[in-house]
Amino acid sequence: MTLPVHTVTPPSAARAHLFHDGTVDDYRAAVTAGADRVARRVTEATGPFTGVRPEQLAPLVDAIDLDRPLCDTTAALDELDEVYLRDAVWFHHPRYLAHLNCPVVIPALLGEAVLSAVNSSMDTWDQSAGATLIERRLIDWTAARIGLGPAADGVFTSGGTQSNLHALLLAREEALAGASPTDRRILLPRLRIITSAAGHFSVQKAAKLLGLAPDAVVVVQTGPDRRMRAGAVRHEISRCRRAGLTVLAVVATAGTTDFGTIDPLDEIAEVCATSGVWLHVDAAYGCGLLVSPTRRHLLDGIERADSVTVDYHKSFFQPVSSSAVLVRDRRTLRHATWHADYLNPARMVAERIPNQVDKSLQTTRRFDALKLWLTLRVMGPDAIGELFDEVCDRAAQAWQLAAADPRFEVLTASALSTVVFRWRPAGTPADLADAANLHARSALAASGLAVVAGTKVDGRQYLKFTVLNPATSPDDVAYVLDLIAEHAGRYAPKTSTLELPCPVG
């Protein structure tokens, strides 16, 4: 056999930017230069944010002529530093306390660099090879940690939103199994999903995308502990049935986004089992407990779920994106299967060729699993669990600090790493406290000294710490509480009168 002879043409300048065996030195240099820039900013950052405003940054981004390249990596990095890195929001900083964003572990960053260079695509074996097997091992590993049993399976997704949509699609199809097209049209508007008032809004979005009725999501109120009550779920299931409605799933939340509370999974699983309703557990936040050396029991009952959402990019210290949806019965994944002649013809199933696209809502898909793989291979699960335990401990300390401080009111303590509180010294009228807390939050972000989140609880404005950084010390928390009190106090100086410094509402 002879190899084809190529006519040699001199490579164009553009081709010098393609990654191949002749450009590996440029690749190394470029990636190292990028890593150097990030490293410099990470070292120099004195706070989690600079407080830059959109109207300050937008003109810089707008002024860049995308049709006139700089033709130089260093110049492009200088420019990137101006429009992005200098003013980025840094999740590694101990005073970043806002949303469910974690600092990331280095083995996962290594994985990210490797996976994007190789650029495997997870849809089919013939675009991924070993990557498919690695993803499958991690799905099996996660399912075993949950305890879903021998028939479990699942697939990596882009995030909890997609995982929830995927799980509810499967649940919808199971609820409609065997229905004729006409019956489907009749049944579809009668399908209901039960979740709690503290459930994630992606459940609402999923219901919309799944073609359900506008009132398809039945929201049960929680008690003061912000957990869904199994009795309320049972009651809603019977109420729906009496009304001729079909409950396609109950969504329990293992780690509510706002409160870090965990629904009573075992009790809810019991209700679902006795009523024959699909149980989806949204553990996007709480999945870190799967590897916790001391808190795994908080997820007891999760093993009874029909489907589970996990976000490794929330509590496994992984870079975005890294998530998965798991199912108890792998056969249910067929509802996401479509065979295309050009990609994954049905005969490949008989030939036992593992094509992940058969289980996924996505086609071309990143090899995100590699980040978790390298994390487990370098650090191991216990180390990740220890980090998550540490952030739960840090949050408990933060809660105690705020609770002991007369300037603040706290809500029920979280099982995970959330602290919901508000500035409200004795005698502060509720409306004034609302406005002052809102003000304190934006003033704090504008100062760049700390970033905290806000939320409404029972119509009132609260502030929220989501602690996902083990480096956040009690001193950091005390400092941020002082800053909040200072901003809020300046906004509402006369807390004993009803006078507002400026009109609100």
The stretch among 144-152, 280-288, 427-435, 441-449 that binds ligand PLP (CB under 6 A) is 280-288
- Between residues 127 and 196, which has the closer beta carbon with respect to ligand PLP? 196
The stretch among 5-13, 157-165, 187-195, 349-357 that binds ligand PLP (CB under 6 A) is 157-165
Work out whether 160 is an interface residue with ligand PLP (CB under 6 A). Answer: yes
Q: What SS3 state is found at 102?
A: coil
Q: Which of residues 331-350 bind ligand PLP (CB under 6 A)?
A: none
Instruction: Tell me how far, at minimum, the Cβ of 256 lies from ligand PLP, in Å.
Output: 6
Distance of CA 434 to the CA centre of its chain: 28
Instruction: Tell me how far, at minimum, the Cβ of 484 lies from ligand PLP, in Å.
Output: 23
The Cα 289–Cα 299 span in angstroms is: 7
- Between residues 202 and 344, which has the closer beta carbon with respect to ligand PLP? 202
Q: How many CB atoms lie within 10 A of CB 267?
A: 18
Work out whether 282 is an interface residue with ligand PLP (CB under 6 A). Answer: yes
The Cα 391–Cα 291 span in angstroms is: 14
Q: How many CB atoms lie within 10 A of CB 108?
A: 24
Judged by CB under 6 A, the residue of 123, 311, 368, 409 near ligand PLP is 311
Work out whether 414 is an interface residue with ligand PLP (CB under 6 A). Answer: no
Work out whether 362 is an interface residue with ligand PLP (CB under 6 A). Answer: no
Q: What SS3 state is found at 464?
A: strand
Give the total of residues touching ligand PLP (CB under 6 A). 15
- Nearest-5° Cα angle at 294, 291 to 300: 70
Instruction: Tell me how far, at minimum, the Cβ of 455 lies from ligand PLP, in Å.
Output: 12
453-471 b/e with 16+ CB inside 10 Å = b?
A: bbeeeeeebbbbbbbbbbe
Work out whether 192 is an interface residue with ligand PLP (CB under 6 A). Answer: no
- Between residues 233 and 251, which has the closer beta carbon with respect to ligand PLP? 251
- Between residues 200 and 424, which has the closer beta carbon with respect to ligand PLP? 200
Lookup: tokens for 64? 């860049």
Work out whether 258 is an interface residue with ligand PLP (CB under 6 A). Answer: no
The Cα 465–Cα 259 span in angstroms is: 10
Work out whether 100 is an interface residue with ligand PLP (CB under 6 A). Answer: yes
Residue nearest to ligand PLP (CB): 160
The stretch among 54-62, 107-115, 141-149, 252-260 that binds ligand PLP (CB under 6 A) is 252-260
The stretch among 7-15, 30-38, 156-164, 186-194 that binds ligand PLP (CB under 6 A) is 156-164
- Between residues 205 and 330, which has the closer beta carbon with respect to ligand PLP? 205
Work out whether 368 is an interface residue with ligand PLP (CB under 6 A). Answer: no
- Between residues 204 and 363, which has the closer beta carbon with respect to ligand PLP? 204
Judged by CB under 6 A, the residue of 195, 196, 202, 315 near ligand PLP is 202
Q: Which residues contact 230 (CB under 8 A, 6 or more apart)?
A: 264, 267, 268, 270, 271
The Cα 357–Cα 369 span in angstroms is: 15
Percentages of the chain per state (helix, strand, coil), in multiples of 5 = 45, 15, 40
Instruction: Tell me how far, at minimum, the Cβ of 253 lies from ligand PLP, in Å.
Output: 5
Q: Which residues contact 219 (CB under 8 A, 6 or more apart)?
A: 195, 196, 197, 199
Instruction: Tell me how far, at minimum, the Cβ of 100 lies from ligand PLP, in Å.
Output: 5
- Between residues 108 and 245, which has the closer beta carbon with respect to ligand PLP? 108
Q: Which residues contact 211 (CB under 8 A, 6 or more apart)?
A: 188
133-157 b/e with 16+ CB inside 10 Å = b?
A: ebbbebbeebbebbbbeeebbbbbb
Q: Which residues contact 150 (CB under 8 A, 6 or more apart)?
A: none
Judged by CB under 6 A, the residue of 285, 462, 465, 491 near ligand PLP is 285
Work out whether 161 is an interface residue with ligand PLP (CB under 6 A). Answer: yes
Instruction: Tell me how far, at minimum, the Cβ of 323 lies from ligand PLP, in Å.
Output: 5
Instruction: Tell me how far, at minimum, the Cβ of 13 lies from ligand PLP, in Å.
Output: 40
- Distinct helix (H) and strand (E) counts, the chain: 16, 12
**Among 260, 277, 259, CA closest to 268:** 277
Lookup: tokens for 146? 């949950």
Q: Are the CB atoms for 115 and 367 separated by under 8 Å?
A: yes
One-letter amino acid at 59 equals P
Q: What is the DSSP letter of 8?
A: P
Instruction: Tell me how far, at minimum, the Cβ of 312 lies from ligand PLP, in Å.
Output: 10
Judged by CB under 6 A, the residue of 101, 257, 332, 362 near ligand PLP is 257
466: enclosing H helix or E strand:
strand 460-466
- Between residues 237 and 262, which has the closer beta carbon with respect to ligand PLP? 262
Judged by CB under 6 A, the residue of 124, 127, 142, 253 near ligand PLP is 253
Task: Tell me the per-residue interface mask from 105 to 134 with ligand PLP, x by CB under 6 A, - otherwise.
Answer: ------------------------------
The stretch among 78-86, 133-141, 159-167, 468-476 that binds ligand PLP (CB under 6 A) is 159-167
Instruction: Provide the binding-site residues for ligand PLP, judged by CB under 6 A.
Output: 100, 159-161, 164, 200, 202, 253, 255, 257, 282, 284-285, 311, 323
